[in-house]
Amino acid sequence: MLKTRIIPCLDVSEGRVVKGVNFVDLIDAGDPVEQARLYCEQGADELCFLDITATSDNRNTILDVVSHTAEEVFMPLTVGGGVRTLEDIRNLLQAGADKIAINSAAVNNPDFVKEAADKCGNQCIVVAIDAKKTGDHWEVYTHGGRKETGIDALEWAQQMAEFGAGEILLTSMDRDGTKSGFDLDLTRSISDAVSVPVIASGGVGTLDHLVDGVKEGHASAVLAASIFHFGEYTIEQARQAMHDAGIAVRT
Amino acid sequence: MAKESLVIIDYGSGNLRSAAKAFERVGADEGLDIDVIVSGKAEDVLNASRIVLPGQGAFGDCMKGLSSVDGMVEALEESVLQKARPFLGICVGMQLMATKGLEHGDHKGLGWIDGDVVPIQPEDKALKIPHMGWNELIPTVSEGSKDGHFVLRSIDSSDNYYFVHSYMVQCKDTHHVLANTDYGGPVPAIVGRDNMVGMQFHPEKSQQAGLRLIADFLQWTP
């Protein structure tokens, strides 16, 4: 039976791990390779690096982080943040990433996803969607939640799956950094509407939130950063909580 | 015994350095004297004592990539079919062992395992495609019996392995299926015959459980 995945996410800026609360007030907290090794030992199912390096001069630092990590940690690695071109994707895959998350570049040019999936395979293209509630639906935002696009998140997810995304990484911008739990309505609406796996993200503050994301949000995987990163909970505790709730996880 | 060498075939299908690291790590941990090289040259395939064929992306593109390397398919046939050197296909590298692939058209494979590569169609329509994540292996031969396969000897029913695929190898001869996984029905996870095995999942991404399979492949003398 396929297991529900628990994915710790590391925000990386200029080669260092940071994690923002609502994307501001960044706190420097460590070496990404060390963190990755720790998560691997704890039995994380995958790892996600989100590169939030602001200046293009320092963008190549993520390639070093990825290659050092991939040489030491034998588990799937997703990398996102600032991916704009096929060359960016190729460079990250060459460095050892398994999956590449595309966000703004997909919004700017949806055909980019098609092209990337054709060239590299659907399995390595993850479309990251940052969604924010607007009235009775959710809209896609870019630029770390600062820029609205007017695109309906549900329709967008369906279109991206059709265009070849192998997976959707869905972040609620309303919940991100709040520790109040996933936006379960959003997660369920999108999980139920697409044929590809959906990773729930944004808002995890307790282990119950992870359980809810799967049971009520119908997510295939749950992603969290701060609860793991600051040592509030271990991956093992997360897995135990999910197991106790009757969710199939890796033992 | 002559020093062993393992070649991971590079035909433009993704990163192979981390895969190479996994094989090197296992070789060192097991105290095996084995050189691991990543190469896109047919002569390196002819010279290697063990061969790994990885693969990422669509079946047709992979087969095209492999065939476009001068002499590569011939070198594989000579090393694997005639000289019977241990061979491991991973993911699409496993699928290429089949007769043909039906992803985006109809593409001829290496034809070593009689069967087609077809879309996974789980009975439960709620199951997502790709089949992505960790799943168990269910060996089709009893573990530890004299018919048990050496490469499968360490598989524990509680272990999980990392899969990511939308297509599967449908074998004509069920004896070629060495292990299944369950995803809305049985999905071939390890196929093989004689000196060749193919793994649909990624042993090199499957942490300790995967590294154990690699260790067994490295010590397999078919």
Supply the pLDDT for residue A58: 74
Going from the C-alpha of B90 to that of each of A25, B142, B162, the distances in angstroms are: 44, 23, 12
For A36, the domain range is: 5-244
Q: How much is the mean pLDDT over chain A?
A: 91
Name the percent of chain B lying above pLDDT 70.
95
Which residues touch B56 (CB under 8 Å, ≥6 apart)?
A120, A121, A123, A124, B13, B14, B62, B91, B92
- The residue-averaged pLDDT of B151-168 equals 94
Taking the C-alpha atoms of residue B81 and residue B120, their distance in angstroms, rounded to an integer, is 29
- The residue-averaged pLDDT of A25-46 equals 78
A interface with B, Cβ–Cβ < 8 A, is: 1-5, 40, 43, 45, 67, 70-72, 74-76, 93-98, 118-124, 166-167, 195-197, 220-221, 250-251
- Residue of B62, B149, B171, B204 marked active site: B204
B1 — pLDDT class (breaks 50, 70, 90): low
* Number of independent structural domains in chain A: 1
Supply the pLDDT for residue B145: 47
Q: Is the pLDDT of residue B146 over 80?
A: no
**Strand runs (DSSP E) across chain A, as ranges?**
5-13, 16-21, 24-28, 47-51, 77-80, 99-102, 125-134, 137-142, 147-152, 167-172, 198-201, 221-224
Of A94, A118, A197, Cβ closest to residue B15: A94
A33 — pLDDT class (breaks 50, 70, 90): confident
CATH number of domain containing B199: 3.40.50.880
| A120 contacts on B by Cβ (under 8 Å) | 14, 56-57
CATH number of domain containing A82: 3.20.20.70
Least confident of A28-32, A140-144, A181-185, B183-187: A28-32
Taking the C-alpha atoms of residue A249 and residue B162, their distance in angstroms, rounded to an integer, is 13
Per the domain annotation, does A37 fall within a domain? Answer: yes
Contact B205 A74 (CB under 8 A): yes
Per the domain annotation, does A250 fall within a domain? Answer: no
- The residue-averaged pLDDT of A168-179 equals 95
What pLDDT, in 10s, does the model give residues B181-201?
999 999 999 999 999 999 999
Supply the pLDDT for residue A146: 85
Contact B15 A166 (CB under 8 A): no
Per the domain annotation, does A210 fall within a domain? Answer: yes
Q: Is the pLDDT of residue A24 over 70?
A: no
Give the angle subtended at the CA of A157 by the CAs of A114 and B61, to the nearest 5°: 25
Q: Is the pLDDT of residue A106 over 90?
A: yes
Supply the pLDDT for residue B37: 96
For B107, the domain range is: 4-218
Q: Is the pLDDT of residue A204 over 90?
A: yes
Contact A75 B204 (CB under 8 A): no
* Number of independent structural domains in chain B: 1
The strand pair at A125-134 and A99-102 is best described as parallel
The phi-psi region of residue B141 (left if phi > 0; otherwise alpha if psi is between -120 and 50; otherwise beta) is: beta
Contact B202 A71 (CB under 8 A): no
Q: Is the pLDDT of residue B77 over 80?
A: yes
Q: How much is the mean pLDDT over chain B?
A: 93
Per the domain annotation, does A251 fall within a domain? Answer: no
Q: Is the pLDDT of residue A21 over 60?
A: no
Name the percent of chain A lying above pLDDT 70.
94
Per the domain annotation, does A64 fall within a domain? Answer: yes
What pLDDT, in 10s, does the model give residues A136-166?
999 999 987 888 999 999 999 999 999 999 9
Q: Is the pLDDT of residue A27 over 50?
A: no
Supply the pLDDT for residue A19: 62
Supply the pLDDT for residue A53: 80
- The residue-averaged pLDDT of B49-56 equals 95
Of B56, B134, B182, Cβ closest to residue A121: B56
- The residue-averaged pLDDT of A75-86 equals 94
Tell me the shortest Cα–Cα distance from B219 to chain A, in angstroms. 20
A128 — pLDDT class (breaks 50, 70, 90): very high
Supply the pLDDT for residue A29: 53
- The residue-averaged pLDDT of B125-136 equals 95
Question: A25 and A63 in contact (C-beta within 8 Å)?
Answer: no
Whether the ω angle into residue B130 lies within 30 degrees of 0, i.e. cis, is yes
